């Protein structure tokens, strides 16, 4: 699956570089379509995943309690981003880095301290290439928000030191990955080789594509597809859960989530232009990260505990 996804990424690069540059409107359509069709649905099975996790650990599960905790985490993180935007942004980057790394590195044993460092430094490299290499394209989104305009010195420092920051994240990742593989000698040479090749190709794709297309490729085509694959495998281990139930739940909660985003966005006049719309959607994804990553963290912990290995 990863090979096919990387092949799609290279097709996008060839099209962008040699056939026809993808204009802003087309990038917006690709982004919006990807978020609706795959991005939002990949988190819409959280209720089923949490229920399955409780059953596998012989714990009682309550839908009401699940939604209270889930929405509570969502509102808490939204409040942090609203009242303390710099702290919220920093936490979002750390949460996203860990969540991305945990999904991409599910083939490795990452429940140790060195494993967690391996996971988070991997995610930081992904985010640094996406955000800092394309910082000129990121700035319009930052200036949508009051805090972005109020912290001009910080923005200037980031812009001046962005390539140093990317280099530092790469060096830190290779240092932690060296320690991780040194401590986990059961990882075969082939596993290490395939991982490094996939990672190099993935970074090349994100480096070469425009910000919005690169973000769509990573978040939708890569991360969400791999997450959905893991979720389906995990849920189907329970013989009482069928593919029909999974599809039905994903459709229901995807519709509710998209409807809620639409209503909130229109009432807040957040769809005045494409930049504002995309900024609002990315902000929504940031708020959803906190409750969603906890569900996925529990799922991957359960898979590791049962020594299940997910296909690449």
Indicate whether 98 belongs to any domain: yes
pTM of the model: 0.86
The pLDDT score that the predictor gives to residue 271 is 53
Indicate whether 16 belongs to any domain: no
pLDDT band at 100 (very low <50, low <70, confident <90, very high): very high
The pLDDT score that the predictor gives to residue 281 is 74
Sign of CA pseudo-dihedral 152, 274, 131, 98: positive
Average pLDDT in the 65-93 region?
A: 87
pLDDT, tens only, 224-236: 999 988 888 888 8
Whether 2 shows a pLDDT value over 50: the answer reads: yes
Whether 62 shows a pLDDT value over 80: the answer reads: yes
The pLDDT score that the predictor gives to residue 147 is 61
Indicate whether 19 belongs to any domain: no
H-state helical runs in the chain? 2-14, 24-34, 46-56, 63-83, 85-104, 113-131, 135-142, 146-150, 152-160, 162-183, 189-208, 211-216, 225-236, 243-267, 274-305
Strongest mean pLDDT among 17-21, 121-125, 207-211, 302-306: 121-125
Indicate whether 156 belongs to any domain: yes
**Tokens 């991997």 belong to residue:** 122
pLDDT band at 309 (very low <50, low <70, confident <90, very high): very low
Average pLDDT in the 230-243 region?
A: 83
Q: Among 131, 188, 179, which Cα is nearest to 159's?
A: 131
- 107 against 312, higher pLDDT: 107
The pLDDT score that the predictor gives to residue 272 is 54
Average pLDDT in the 31-50 region?
A: 86
Q: What contacts 230, CB < 8 A, 6 or more positions away?
A: 103, 106, 299, 300, 303, 310
Q: Check: CB of residue 221 under 8 Å from CB of residue 4.
A: no
The domain containing residue 100 runs over which residues? Answer: 24-305
Whether 222 shows a pLDDT value over 70: the answer reads: yes
pLDDT, tens only, 251-266: 888 888 777 666 665 6
Indicate whether 12 belongs to any domain: no
Exposed/middle/buried for 22, CB within 10 Å: 0-12, 13-18, 19+? middle
The pLDDT score that the predictor gives to residue 259 is 77
- The least confident of 20-34, 86-100, 296-310 is 296-310
**CA 222, CA 117: separation in Å to the nearest integer?**
21
pLDDT, tens only, 134-191: 888 888 777 766 665 667 788 888 889 999 999 999 999 999 999 999 888 887 888 8
The pLDDT score that the predictor gives to residue 173 is 95
Indicate whether 3 belongs to any domain: no
186-192 contact pairs (CB < 8 A, 24+): 187/108, 191/107, 191/108
**CA 238, CA 187: separation in Å to the nearest integer?**
29
CA 278 to chain centre: 16
CA atoms within 13 Å, Cβ hemisphere of 246: 20
Indicate whether 38 belongs to any domain: yes
User: Which H or E run includes 42?
Assistant: none
Indicate whether 225 belongs to any domain: yes
**CA 12, CA 113: separation in Å to the nearest integer?**
37
DSSP string, 46-115: HHHHHHHHHHHTT----HHHHHHHHHHHHHHHHHHHHHSHHHHHHHHHHHHHHHHHHHHTTTS---SHHH
Structural domain total, the chain: 1
pLDDT, tens only, 269-300: 455 566 666 777 777 777 888 888 889 988 88
């Amino acid at each position: 699956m990863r090979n096919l996804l990387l092949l799609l990424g290279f097709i996008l690069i060839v099209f962008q570089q040699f056939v026809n540059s993808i204009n802003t409107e087309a990038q917006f359509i690709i982004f919006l379509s990807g978020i609706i069709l795959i991005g939002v649905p990949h988190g819409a099975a959280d209720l089923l995943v949490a229920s399955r996790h409780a059953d596998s650990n012989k714990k009682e599960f309550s839908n009401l309690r699940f939604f209270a905790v889930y929405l509570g985490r969502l509102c808490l993180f939204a409040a942090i981003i609203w009242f303390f935007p710099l702290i919220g942004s920093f936490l979002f980057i750390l949460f996203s880095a860990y969540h991305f790394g945990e999904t991409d590195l599910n083939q490795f044993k990452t429940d140790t301290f060195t494993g967690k460092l391996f996971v988070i430094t991997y995610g930081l490299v992904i985010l640094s290439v996406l955000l800092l290499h394309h910082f000129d394209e990121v700035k319009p989104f930052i200036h949508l928000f009051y805090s972005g305009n109020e912290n001009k010195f910080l923005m200037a420092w980031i812009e001046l030191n962005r390539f140093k920051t990317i280099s530092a994240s790469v060096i830190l990742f290779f240092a932690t990955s060296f320690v991780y593989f040194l401590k986990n000698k059961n990882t075969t040479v082939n596993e290490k080789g395939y991982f490094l090749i996939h990672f190099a190709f993935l970074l090349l794709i994100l480096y070469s594509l425009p910000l919005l297309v690169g973000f769509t490729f990573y978040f939708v085509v890569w991360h969400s597809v791999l997450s959905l694959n893991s979720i389906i495998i995990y849920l189907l281990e329970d013989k009482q859960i069928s593919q029909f139930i999974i599809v039905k739940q994903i459709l229901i909660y995807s519709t509710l989530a998209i409807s809620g985003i639409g209503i909130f966005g229109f009432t807040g006049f957040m769809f005045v232009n494409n930049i504002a719309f995309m900024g609002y959607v990315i902000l929504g994804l940031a708020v959803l990260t906190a409750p969603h990553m906890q569900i996925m963290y529990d799922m991957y912990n359960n898979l590791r505990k049962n020594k299940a290995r997910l296909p690449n």
